[in-house]
A and B are shown apart, each in its own frame.
Chain A
Amino acid sequence: MLKVNNIQTYYGNIQALKGITLDIGEGEIITLIGANGAGKTTTLMSICGVVPPKQGEIFFRGTPIHNMTTEKIVALGICQVPEGRHIFPGLTVKENLEMGAYLRTDHHGIKTDLEYVLDLFPILAQRRHQQGGTLSGGEQQMLAISRALMAKPRLLLLDEPSLGLAPLIIQQIFEIIRKINSEQKTTIFLVEQNANLALKVAHRGYVMENGTITLADSAANLLDNEDVKKAYLGL
């Protein structure tokens, strides 16, 4: 579904990605784990065209997207929940969700999906007319995921959905991630620092270090891998 072929991305003169190659299949949950500053977020930003790669290619369902603008990439069906959630603070919960469906024109489908996400996170239905900025961290994360789902993405990119949340909320959110994947058949690319959690929901995983991929294997194998255990699982 998504093929990332040896991309190199720079911030000014600083090289953040030194040749990343990834392959995400239809319907999979793939996770990318790694320490702070390894380049995980940059990888997502390169896929979305926010920080376009200087070299290398990205194909989405056969279409080259590495030279496309962000809104065109989003229109193809790639949607990101960025790190830090980035809720529009002055828009109400409902308006935030409507912004998620910005590129869609099928009013009927939007309405159905609105009901679906409010069903998924009932707390958001209660907060419908509240401003996004007044929600708690967990609620904001739920809103951010819901907003992305409103775009009806084929590929959902999640950047650190567990960051700064209480364990109970994290569990709830990972439950939903699994549900979205199994019910909606949405392919999910999950970037996480919480490697243990991420590898438990994912089918396959990539390990990233200093702008390069150092390991690629099935999630189960990675959980058993001695190096991964030592470096990321704290065992």
Chain B
Amino acid sequence: MTSSFFAEKEIYNGLLLSRTIILQELINFLMDYFLELLLGGLTKGSIYALIALGYTMVYGIIELINFAHGEIYMIGAFTALIAASILNMLGLGQITILILASILAIIYSSAYGFTMEKIAYKPLRHSPRLSPLISAIGMSIFFQNYVLLAQTSDFLPFPSLLPEFEFLQPYRHIIRSPEIFILFTTVVVMVLLTVLIKFTKVGKAMRATAQDRKMAMLVGVDVNKIISMTFVIGSSTAAIGGVLIASFIGQINFYIGFIAGIKAFTAAVLGGIGSIPGAVVGSLILGCTESFATGYVLSDYEDVFAFGLLVLILIFRPAGILGKSSSEKV
């Protein structure tokens, strides 16, 4: 009788213990899942941020929504793909290929961005605001079809160029090496851009031109040069985004710029269009929202949540999260 009593108690204790363990496991699992979603969201947000910068900077300086900006990102990805294929035949290492392909992508995208501004927007600088907007949509359609004809309509495989880090192996279920690499690259780009805008002469001229173009002219700023520069910088960051995401997902086609462009535009509006920190914050929030919506609700609802968030922001804070508080005195 006593023995059975002890046995019962032991079983009871055992059950209690296993229940704690299971609970612990569950919590661990939920935590890991949460972290995985969060980091995935941040990664996605980083890519959006690299594209959104171009939207927000161009808007800040000439008040134009450059709808062809997503296509610049797509052209960056395609340039990198072609460059990587050629460099791969030469037998170069993975990191070398990544760096060279990125540089080529930056150069090509910048050239397209620069030319686009000269052809499609500069002649319309003094027209009503609707004209350059329509011109931008035209450029977008043109670029898509140009790549469609010059390349193909199929999805093309993109080599995975992003490095694998050994030390991340134990955390594979939470974050993968490419994601860390994307996050790190984005942070570096953001820091460089901040330094450029805050502390260099060009950066100061860009801010001055954005705030008061006529006065910038009157202190001797070559406004056309500054506007071109803005397009080149925006195109460069978009190209970096294009290379990273293509290498991460592993395939590209001529249409990727449209979707990414719309999302990045949403992020820029979310954060407050015209504001550079706003674009970054908006992008990260958008990326995380999508990630959590996919992870906790339903993957089909990703876009519903993303654009739902946009609608809410536009209703309750139309200037965006970090939108300009006007400190101007007349």
Asked whether B329 lies within 8 Å of A74 as measured between CB atoms, the reply is: no
Q: Which of A18-26, A81-89, A118-126 is the contact stretch? A: A81-89
The count of A-to-B residue pairs whose CB atoms sit within 8 angstroms is 77
Q: Is the CB of B204 within 8 A of A82?
A: no
A71 CB-CB contact with B under 8 Å? yes
- State how many angstroms separate the Cβ of A75 from the closest Cβ of chain B: 6
A102 touching B220 in the complex, CB below 8 Å, given contacts A88-B215, A91-B208, A95-B204: yes
> Who on chain A is nearest to B215 by CB?
A86
* B330 contacts chain A at the CB level, 8 A cutoff: yes
Task: Give the docked Cα–Cα distance between A136 and B327 (Å).
Answer: 11
Tell whether A100 pairs with B219 under 8 Å between CB atoms, given A86-B212, A90-B211, A95-B204.
yes
Measured in the bound complex, the distance between the Cα atoms of B204 and A147 in whole Å is 14
- Total interface residues on A, using CB and 8 Å? 32
Interchain CB contact under 8 A, A71 and B221: yes
Contact B220–A103 (Cβ < 8 Å):
yes
Verify B329–A102 contact, CB threshold 8 A: no
Which of A75, A80, A99, A133 lies in contact with B328, CB distance below 8 A?
A133
A98's closest neighbor in chain B, by CB? B204
> When the two chains form their complex, are residues B217 and A71 in contact, meaning their CB atoms are under 8 A apart?
yes
Question: In the complex, which residues of chain B have a beta carbon less than 8 angstroms from the beta carbon of A86?
Answer: 212, 214-215, 218
Instruction: Tell me if A65 is interfacial: C-beta within 8 Å of chain B.
Output: no
* Contact, CB under 8 Å: A82 / B219: no
Closest to B209 in A: A88
Considering the complex, give the chain B residue whose CB is closest to the CB of A133: B327
Which chain A residue lies CB-closest to B205? A102
Q: Which residues of A contact B201 (CB under 8 A)?
A: 102
Mark interface residues in A169-189 (1 if CB within 8 Å of B CB, else 0).
Answer: 000000000000000000000
A135 CB within 8 Å of chain B: yes
Q: Top 8 A-B pairs ranked by shortest CB distance?
A: A74-B220, A133-B327, A86-B215, A103-B220, A89-B328, A70-B217, A71-B220, A88-B211
Apart from the given pairs A82-B215, A102-B219, 19 other A-B contacts in the complex at a CB distance below 8 Å = A71-B220, A79-B218, A88-B208, A88-B215, A88-B216, A89-B211, A89-B212, A89-B329, A91-B208, A91-B211, A98-B204, A99-B208, A102-B220, A102-B221, A131-B327, A133-B326, A135-B329, A140-B329, A151-B220
Chain A interfacial positions (CB closer than 8 Å to B): 48, 50, 69-71, 74-75, 79-80, 82, 84, 86-91, 95, 98-100, 102-103, 131, 133-137, 140, 147, 151
- 13 A-B pairs whose Cβ atoms sit less than 8 Å apart in the complex: A50-B214, A50-B217, A50-B218, A75-B220, A82-B214, A86-B215, A86-B218, A87-B212, A99-B204, A99-B208, A99-B219, A133-B326, A135-B329
